[in-house]
Amino acid sequence: MSRTPSLFQETRVSPSTPSPSHILHINTTDKTPSTTSLTRKRAHSEISSSLLDEDTYARHHLASSASVFFRPAHRSPRSFLHRVLSDRRVLEIQCVDLIQKDKSDCWLTFRIELPAPIVPGGVVLADGGEKDALEVFIVTGEEGKGRFELFTVTLRGGLLVRETVPLDFDGKSVVRRFVPSCFSFRRPYRVVAASSLELFVSLQDGGLMRLRREANDSGANWNETYFSEGGWSGTLKGMLSLRNRKTVDYNGAKVEANAIAAIAPSPDGRFVWTVGLDHMLKAWDTKTGKVVAVGDLLNEVVDDRKRQGGYTMGAEQGTLLQIVAPTMDADFADAEYFLVVHSPREHVFKFFGVTSETTADGVALVLRDTMSGRRLIPPVDEMLDTNIWHLEQFYVQAGRNFQGSRIWLRARSGPVCRTFTMAFDLLDDRGAALDLEDAFQHDWSVVDSSSLSVDSLRDLPEFRGLEAAPESSTTPSEKWLDFLFFPGRFSNASLETALNIYRQGRKLPKTSGKGLKAAEEPLKERITSAVSSKILLRRLPNEQPDYDGYQEDVHKEWNTFFTLVSHLHTRRHESIGFAVDAEKGLAWTVCADFVAPIRSSSKFELLHNNAGLQAVENEEQLDREIMRQIWPAEDDPLRSRIMAVAQQFRRFMSPAAQEKLRIESATHALTPNDEMTPADGLQHLYDRCGFANEITDDEFETITTSAECFNGLGTLTEDAFLSVLDDILDKVGDAHKSLESQMLGLYGKDVSIAIAQETILRVQGVLLDSLALVIFMAFELDETELSAEFSSTRVYELIMLKLRETELRLWLVSHLRQEPMKSGAKEADMITMTIYESIFIGDWKICQGSADSDLAELLTSSSLNWTFGLPLTAQWTNITTFVMANLLKHKEAELASEFIQFMPEKDSAWSTYLKGRMYLTTGDYALASIHFEEAASDLTQSNNTRLLNQGDLLTPDELIFFGQGPSSYFQHILSLFEKLKLHSHVADFATRALQYMMSDAELTRSLTALDSRKKSAPDSPLPDQVRDAGSELKLLRLQQTRDEILGRLFNALLQTGRFEAAYDTLTQVSNPILQKSNLQSLIKDCVKRDAVPTLLDLPISGDMVHEADKILHTLARQAMASSPLASSSSGPAYHQILFAFRTQHSDFRGAASILYEHLQRLRHNNGSKSWQKMQDPEDETLVRVFVLVISSLACCGEGEGWLLAEPIEGEGKRRCVTLEEVRAEFGRELDRRSEVQLGRFALVGGEGEDGMF
């Protein structure tokens, strides 16, 4: 680790737009004059589809310069990130407010497209002043390729708080162009906005120009004023001067040595201070245009000869000058304001107090070097461990009376760019300057870099576990996908670009499939397909598949792919800007594809991030005040040392052992085994992870040496470890009552989630570090070498408890879902967020801080309060069931099935019920039924429903079924299965519901008794009448509910083919209409499923026989009318079924009637081919029908052999047909058949078929 202490840290988030509908394109070119073209909304696909190589990716997504601008504190929104993209031809502006007032958040991203590249440093922003607007000033142009121009883009307050792009917006209304007269032959160098109405532009030839406009003027009209050392009279001479001067190279052009590199107007606007590349500090009078003060930047005496041939700074200089005007008490100091300057020549800082004096020639300025004779040089060489660096930016936050102040530095050495800061008092309580020389040497701290950097990611426990492990149940591809797609870690654009580069390198096709579906294939699947596309499954010498070798090959390819991702990811983290929100006390770092507020480190982060400072030889070099901030308690240094040694120990372990430790410990924490003691748990981890062979002798010596800072491992006690574990979760504060009206902005939510993610991952690492060291000490060190107060089992128990909480929090912040931006939003307006944000973002509140707490402190405390504020241990069941209910409500079956690992095994009926709902969504219906049954005993009781419906899973209509007894509960369960058409389970739970209801006989007896009581006492008192009416209504409702359940049970039984049970069910229905309808369904279903024998075997009796007969008769007549010769192909032979049914129930006359009717219909259709077929003597159809009719009538008894024959299709009348008549008809049919067999055919066929040769 760095020897520089760390008090602050960056939390980086990627600039993103919720959806394409939130991008407002403003095209300033002349090529598209129409309003639509000026503001057309382009989808992300227009950009992402072209990401075929690294250069294209960089143009579209990596900013070349950027910063954050802050409007005054009373404005909202007020913080705006501006980034230069696309070869400096696009300026993108986004609101990055962390905390918003009410609903003043800005959802839009403004993309300003320009006709020429933006000059370096050519973007400045200003507040609208009297009008609520954001003024954007852009200087464009390219050396030797046309003129330079000034664009003014005015974004008014109404546009800044819109959620979507206005349809009637005209881009021309916000853009104005202006070309200063000198821009045709002089190149702009630096631009500064004194206000929205005044700009200062330094020119490459050393000139200074002021542009002013009136409040009602647009950006198309500016008044130009040129400054020169001789005043206005020397302006023209300075412009036309062609003297040969010393120049330096700058972006392909020449910049003169006296060119102004820094500009800062005085607080009263009377003077403008500048610093030139010639190392000269000047003050210009804005009224006369003259230089009223000039001197060397370090206040050294320089004559003209030395000045002309002296030191010249590089044209790419960073911050050189800042005007600081702190609030000062009366008579505290005579300085009106202060100049803070930095000289790159020796990296010296100067603090000048500025006062003004009135003289005969006007106003004179007096500079007083507050640190005269002292050299304020920050030890950046030591902090960056290099002597080649340059200062890119600095900023001084001045406190009241210039006390409690802070200075920020951003220094670069090649690709490494770090931010340093120091707290200081410039003045003492009497207003006298303090000596800061020693403070500038020793009081610096470094801002801890982002946890998203490639180096930080490689230190994560999950990255160590990416090595292919044959014993793991998770494949390398699954591990890599989880790592790469961790929320907020890598951008989709960088992964897409890496995939394209990878495909080109391996000569793979651009897509893994053909057509549109290939383009719509998810990114995860495309990456996995590409990585494994050319890997073959080889065979071992014994001809068995070599799966281990295959997984190793896959892992190697994933490493290759990650190398490409890492390169692009590193470019995303290139630091390009820095800004400080002085009013809120929050500094910002801007990277090529990240923006990061710099927040105060928490107590745990201070201990962890500064653990490397605890080497004995470093302690004396640390500032006492910084040490007090890092380690305020007496035992804090020991905690840091333990963290450092434990981290070092786990890093010595092999990746496979580390992964086993992570997985096995998480399993122990989430699924505790009652039969396994803590000692057994430690032994299991020791054996599974192979600790006996993990640490070499050299590594053990290194650990022993490191542990000497606390007198060796043998001195560590149980309390020492417990103190480390107690500190890893910061204590939370109370919500700040005065700030309750403030809410998180869009970026505030992203930053809070990022803080939660990086803190939870850091906690996980410390827990695993501590666990590994404890296991090693317990089994690898002799008991005599350990402290008598060291108890590995107690430490193990606490680690498991905290690891359990950590695993839950990590799961919540690492899984995503889609949520609408607002209720009723379209699918295109869905935004992606973590589960933790989706469920718990409403709990975020500003924490109570001290009176002087700034946003850097409040951001950390509030975010950690939100992250660790949930009392997981005390409320584990309630919280996990709440989350599970929420997942089920959102129909996220896959996430719910993952989350079940956090659900308590046997804790509450509600959690058991939720598990059943989860299994229902995943298709494990048997398990769902079991869990629903287990939960029934408690959920049916009224006193167990107060905690129900956490997560709003149940609708109000569903909630009424709980706490009302078993029958109501099982009705709810059968409804769940009914929606999925799982009829067998519906039948089971309908039966369970009926078991707990009054039977039909009991209901009937109750109603009868009630009627008797009413009749016996018609003049009973009114209360008794009301009571009886209520009882009757309740019984009738019970009867109605019972019939409803019976109907659902009947339908389920019918769908599953359980016809006997279905008939038994319908006999219990009290509603005759419902009963008749169910009987008809039963008969039709039996026939449809070829279950006629089952139908005939049903114990139909009583009135049900008559109803069944009517149903069958109706169906038979309908079938015969549509197809008299019923067959298997034409439909069911209902007449045969009815004949069998009537015969079975001894209705012989009825049986004969339906067959005789069938016979008549056959004769009525005697022209059909089927009838002609029946005339064949060999066909026995008619014979069988006659025999059955005759037999049936004969069974009616002597003298009762008759039937009523219905007319066919209204022809004729109904007539009585006797047994003798049927026998006569049968005789004639037999005679006809004999004649046909003898060859005597009828010449004319009549109804009786009597005409023969």
Task: Please report, for the chain, the start and end positions of each structural domain, with discontinuous segments joined by +.
Answer: 18-179, 455-572, 599-868, 876-996, 1133-1253
Distance CA(769)–CA(475), nearest Å, equals 25
Can you tell me the mean pLDDT for 51-77? 92
Provide the 8-state DSSP code for 1206: P
pLDDT at position 1225 over 70: yes
Q: What is the pLDDT, as a whole number, of residue 596?
A: 97
Is the pLDDT reported for residue 519 higher than 60?
no
Judge whether residue 320 has pLDDT over 50: yes
Alpha helices in 1056-1071 (DSSP H): 1059-1066
Picking from 736, 1033, 1030, the residue whose alpha carbon sits closest to that of residue 861 is 736
Dump pLDDT digits (tens) for 1012-1066.
Answer: 777 777 777 877 777 777 777 878 888 888 989 999 999 999 999 999 999 999 9
| pLDDT at residue 240 tops 70 | no
What average pLDDT does the segment 645-668 reach?
A: 93
Give which of 418, 459, 415 is closest to 571, Cα–Cα.
Answer: 415
Q: How far apart are CA 716 and CA 235, in angstroms?
A: 76
Q: Is the pLDDT of residue 586 over 80?
A: yes
d(CA 133, CA 1126): 86
Q: In the predicted model, what is the mean pLDDT of the chain? A: 86
| Between 907 and 469, the higher pLDDT residue | 907
pLDDT band at 980 (very low <50, low <70, confident <90, very high): very high
pLDDT at 623: 79
Q: Is the pLDDT of residue 730 over 70?
A: no
pLDDT at 1217 over 90: no
DSSP 667: H
Mode of pairing for the β-strands spanning 109-113 and 23-27: parallel
Give me the helices (H) in 434-474, please.
Answer: 437-442, 454-458, 461-464
**Out of 18-22, 271-275, 580-584, 1073-1077, least confident range:** 18-22
Weakest-pLDDT range from 367-376, 574-583, 838-847, 879-888: 838-847
Phi, psi (deg, nearest 5) at residue 1173: -65, -35
**Among 1108, 1111, 1110, 1081, which Cα is nearest to 1097's?**
1108
pLDDT (tens digit, 9 = 90+) per residue, 528-572?
999 999 888 888 888 888 888 888 889 999 999 999 999 999 999
Q: What whole-number distance in Å separates Cα of residue 1126 and Cα of residue 1119? A: 7
Query: Percentage of the chain surpassing pLDDT 90?
Result: 54
Using 50, 70 and 90 to split pLDDT, how confident is the model at 621? low
Looking at the predicted structure, is the pLDDT value of residue 192 above 50? Answer: yes
Spatial separation of the C-alpha atoms in residues 388 and 393, rounded to whole Å: 16
22-50 CB burial, b ≥16 within 10 A, e <16: bbbbbbbeeeeeeeeebbeeeeeeebeee
Residues 474-491 have pLDDT tens digits of 888 999 999 999 999 999
Q: Scan for tokens 């609408």, then name that residue.
A: 820
Q: Residue 947: CB partners within 8 Å, gap ≥ 6?
A: 878, 908, 910
